[in-house]
Amino acid sequence: MKFLRIYIIYRIQIVIGLIALGIFFHMEVDTVLAWLCYIAAFISLLLYFMMGSMRLVQEAVTEGDVEGAMKYMKLIKFPKLLFKPIRMGYYMLQSNLALATDNLDEAEANIRKSLKTNSTLVGDVRGSNLLQLGMVQLRKGDTKEARKHLIEAIQVGLPDKENLAAAHLQLCSIEMQRNNYKVAKDHYRKAKAAKPKTEELVKQIAMLDKQMPRIPG
């Protein structure tokens, strides 16, 4: 694993070294060895542009190392050349990292780029992207757009019950603000029916359990 980390971080330097070694072999030793070096350099360069350092980014995110994830993100100089599913994940993670630092404009811009990439090779994540876009817009105070994208996220499909419950809870809150209590209660029931396990969502539903009987509609 340590070798793989070094390889990913110093891939360009390794490419240059392989080309130099290939030239040396070509001139002094054997053309077969030279071409092996050239091929290895080409593959490494292809991986550099098409995959970047996303593996290290994802590992850092899994470990909760936000600073490490941001450091590895900076190693990706040409995100538009990334393999399409990886590019989509790159923009989604960029949005997550921007959210972690409360940079809401950047978070929205990046999740829109992820939506625009629209690759289904690793599964359809459009619903997740729309959910995140709606959440970002809620934090920005753009309730109208947030409501539209949260509804669209549910219609497109979300990957699990936790995300589904989160979307319905946010819509419940929005509809209550709009005094649309009947629709709010419908979203509350759907959120509860999803039976989320996340502590925060469970607490929100418990609070609504107490509030809903007092709400008209």
Contact 50, 35 (CB under 8 A): no
The count of other CB atoms within 10 Å of the CB of residue 196 is: 21
pLDDT at 1: 63
Instruction: Give the alpha-carbon dihedral of 48, 54, 55, 56, to 10 degrees.
Output: 100
Calculate the average pLDDT of the chain: 87
pLDDT digits (tens, 9 = 90+) for 96-114: 888 888 889 999 999 999 8
pTM for the predicted model, two decimal places = 0.78
Domain locations along the chain? 1-50, 61-159, 160-217
CA distance 77 to 160: 33
61-159 to CATH, choices 3.40.50.620, 1.10.3720.10, 3.40.1550.20, 1.25.40.10: 1.25.40.10
CA distance 185 to 28: 79
Task: Considering only CA atoms, give the Rg of the chain.
Answer: 23
Contact 68, 60 (CB under 8 A): yes
Contact 154, 148 (CB under 8 A): no
pLDDT digits (tens, 9 = 90+) for 180-215: 888 989 998 999 998 988 889 989 889 888 888 877
Going 70 to 72 to 76 to 80, the CA torsion angle's sign is negative
Tokens linked to 14 = 């390794």
